Amino acid sequence: MNHSSHALSVGTPGAHDFIIEQFQQAGARRTCTLSLTANENILSDTARTLGQNRHYERYLFNAQAIEGQRYAAEFNGMQIEHFPEVETLKALATQAVQAMFNAPFVEYRVLSGVHCTLSVLAALSEPGDAIVSLAPASGGHFATGPLVQKIGRHSVFCRLTAGGQIDLEDFQQQLQTLAAPPAAVLLDHGLTTRAIALQPLRALLDRCGLQRTLIIYDASHTLGLIAGQAFPNPLDDGADILQGNTHKSLAGPHRALIVSRRADLARRIEQTLSGGLVSSPNLPGLLQLFVTLVETRQYGQAYAQRMCANTRQLHDALVGIPGWTLHPTDTHLLLLEGEQARQAAQRLNELGIRVNNKQVNGRDCLRFGLQEITRLGITGEDLDALAHIIRNVLSGGANGVDRVRLNHICQRLNRIHYSFDQETCQ
């Protein structure tokens, strides 16, 4: 259970003013804060406004519209309200997903990346099955192994080579330790700077007689790049399921998607979700997701290209800092390896540059993501200024001038690009 250590109680006179004051102060600080975290993005005002509409703070069940009725539907024998306008927006979003990922089946009711994994594994595997996933040391999600165990499956880890590809020799050795074929291989990479080739994995599975073993690709970090054709589509390369949350390189709300080209798998996932893993999928967030997907179909290619170009520029500007090693990248993520990564992350966050420290193959690194500042329209000049600030922090020479420079950059990032907002402003 969560608990609070603050002395102020709910019934204290002035609680309302205290709450408002706290968040006003925080808001002022956050307008002068730059986010380079790889796990977040920013919604367009168009999507945010639609999701905050009080008329849609309602249940949205997976209901069937009643023939001849416009606003009435049925769910488990219960008469409920139907939202035809939501169905219209959903149809536009579905067309966008089908075009961007070249896949006919999409599931919107999942609420997060972990909920994707839970739902897909519950639908497509059985208790006792082995699930192979990426080892956390190779960038695999920290929650996957425990989740697999908690739902009664057997967790097995595979790893990546130094070049970022699946270590097929190690993978085959892991297969030999299993009493039965694995139900699925889940690639849940959180440090994706290079595409993982899936065809060699699929070929290995086929050679071992494991044609029924599924490949599930979690593209939480690269979903926007895939949609914008700046990163290979795993469904083209042998994946059976493409899943991921929608608030990283895809600039949507904190939700998720499951996409597939296989009707049999899509049907099992739909039935499993309907059978107890979701009730109402949170309509406000769903509306925000639908708008984001339609925006992405229109602006996603330009956005994805600019994300990658900005990352290359920042990469080149950070080369050669003593004590730090830059990893090559083809995406919007930048890994800067160094023994002082944890301390540097603290200094950057205190200054107002939000970053994460991670580990790759047991070595400390900083992980930068350029998706949010790209959507806010950062210029090449401001990127160079930002690189100068970061270099100073990592070299131990940051000062008050850097804080002023950062404020000036933040003040210029005041409009959402690659969205319907820019049409509103015209």
- Listing DSSP states for 270-314 in one string gives HHHIIIII-S---HHHHHHHHHHHHHHHHHHHHHHHHHHHHHHHH
pLDDT confidence of residue 11:
60
- Full strand arrangement of the beta sheet holding 105-107: 105-107, 256-260, 241-245, 214-218, 184-187, 130-134, 154-158
Last residue of a domain, one of 293, 322, 346: 293
| Pair 215, 304 in one domain | no
Q: What is the CATH number of the domain that holds 380?
A: 3.90.1150.10
Using an 8 Å Cβ cutoff, are 311 and 341 in contact?
A: no
Q: Is residue 253 part of a domain?
A: yes
- Angstrom CA distances, 416 to 134, 278, 313, 373, 422, stand at 35, 32, 21, 9, 7
Last residue of a domain, one of 274, 293, 312: 293
Please give the Cα distance from 260 to 214 (Å, whole number).
12
| Pair 235, 114 in one domain | yes
Distance of CA 196 to the CA centre of its chain: 17
| Pair 288, 364 in one domain | no
Q: Is residue 107 part of a domain?
A: yes
Q: What is the CATH number of the domain that holds 134?
A: 3.40.640.10
Using an 8 Å Cβ cutoff, are 149 and 96 in contact?
A: no
Q: Is residue 42 part of a domain?
A: no
pLDDT confidence of residue 20:
86
pLDDT confidence of residue 26:
81
| Claim: this prediction has a pTM higher than 0.75 | yes
CB-side exposure of 86: number of CA atoms within 13 Å? 27
Using an 8 Å Cβ cutoff, are 326 and 318 in contact?
A: yes
pLDDT confidence of residue 54:
86
Last residue of a domain, one of 254, 271, 293: 293
Q: State the residue range of the domain holding 247.
A: 54-293
Residue 216's identity, in one-letter code, is I
pLDDT confidence of residue 336:
97
Q: Is residue 72 part of a domain?
A: yes
pLDDT confidence of residue 6:
56
pLDDT confidence of residue 424:
59
Q: Is residue 22 part of a domain?
A: no
pLDDT confidence of residue 14:
80
pLDDT confidence of residue 69:
81
| Pair 354, 263 in one domain | no
List, in sequence order, the alpha helices (H) in 151-282: 168-176, 199-207, 223-227, 263-272
Using an 8 Å Cβ cutoff, are 153 and 178 in contact?
A: no
| Pair 278, 147 in one domain | yes
Going residue by residue through the chain (426 aa), what tens digit of pLDDT does each one get?
Answer: 565 555 555 566 688 888 888 888 888 778 889 999 999 999 999 999 988 888 888 888 878 888 888 888 888 888 888 888 988 999 999 999 999 999 999 999 999 999 999 999 999 999 999 999 999 999 999 999 999 999 999 999 999 998 999 999 999 999 999 999 999 999 999 999 999 999 999 999 999 999 999 999 999 999 999 999 999 999 999 999 999 999 999 999 999 999 999 999 999 999 999 998 998 889 999 999 999 999 999 999 999 999 999 999 999 999 999 999 999 999 999 999 999 999 999 999 999 999 999 998 889 999 999 999 999 999 999 999 999 999 999 998 888 899 999 999 999 999 999 999 986 544
Q: Is residue 36 part of a domain?
A: no
Residue 388 CB neighbour total at 10 angstroms: 14
Helices 283-317 and 84-101, interaxial angle, to 10°? 30
| Pair 140, 263 in one domain | yes
Q: Is residue 396 part of a domain?
A: yes
pLDDT confidence of residue 184:
98
CB contact burial 99-115 (16+ within 10 A = b; e otherwise):
ebbebebbbbbbbbbbb
φ, ψ of residue 419 to 5 degrees: the values are -155, 175
Query: Number of structural domains, the chain?
Result: 2
List, in sequence order, the alpha helices (H) in 52-107: 84-101
| Pair 274, 181 in one domain | yes
pLDDT confidence of residue 328:
95
| Pair 311, 216 in one domain | no
| Pair 158, 227 in one domain | yes
| Pair 284, 363 in one domain | no
